[in-house]
Amino acid sequence: MSFRVRLNSAIRRRIVAWGLPDSVFVEVILRLEQRLKQDPQELLWRARKPFDGMNYGFLMVDPTNRFREFLFIFQVMYSQDEEELLIVNCGYRVMSL
């Protein structure tokens, strides 16, 4: 079953405010809007930190500096009708290798 993924304007603004390289920004949006919706049961995990609830996360190597990685975490909730995935919180960290 395929779900719709909803990023509200506050979450979109937060992601834009991170100032990611364009290619990383595009990849983040694609992973949220295309990859997550296809198989959330495989990609979501239950955690208490950094966000209490269902989380989706992934690592990406910075294409402008191969010695840096981005770690992205998104808190996800199912909508009341269970047809949408709602991104309700997000964060990221940059790590040097």
The whole-number pLDDT of residue 17 equals 98
The whole-number pLDDT of residue 51 equals 82
* Beta partners for residue 59, in sequence order: 71
The whole-number pLDDT of residue 49 equals 86
Q: Quick one: fold of 4-96?
A: YaeB-like fold (3.30.2310)
Q: Global pTM?
A: 0.91
The whole-number pLDDT of residue 74 equals 97
The SS3 assignment for 10 reads helix
**Whether the Cβ atoms of residue 74 and residue 55 lie closer than 8 Å to each other:** yes
**Whether the Cβ atoms of residue 76 and residue 90 lie closer than 8 Å to each other:** no
The SS3 assignment for 31 reads helix
Closest listed residue to residue 32, CA positions, set 48, 53, 10, 55: 55
Any idea where the domains of the chain sit in the sequence? 4-96
The whole-number pLDDT of residue 2 equals 83
pLDDT band, residue 35 (cuts 50/70/90) = very high
* Whether pLDDT at 75 is above 90: yes
* Whether pLDDT at 54 is above 90: yes
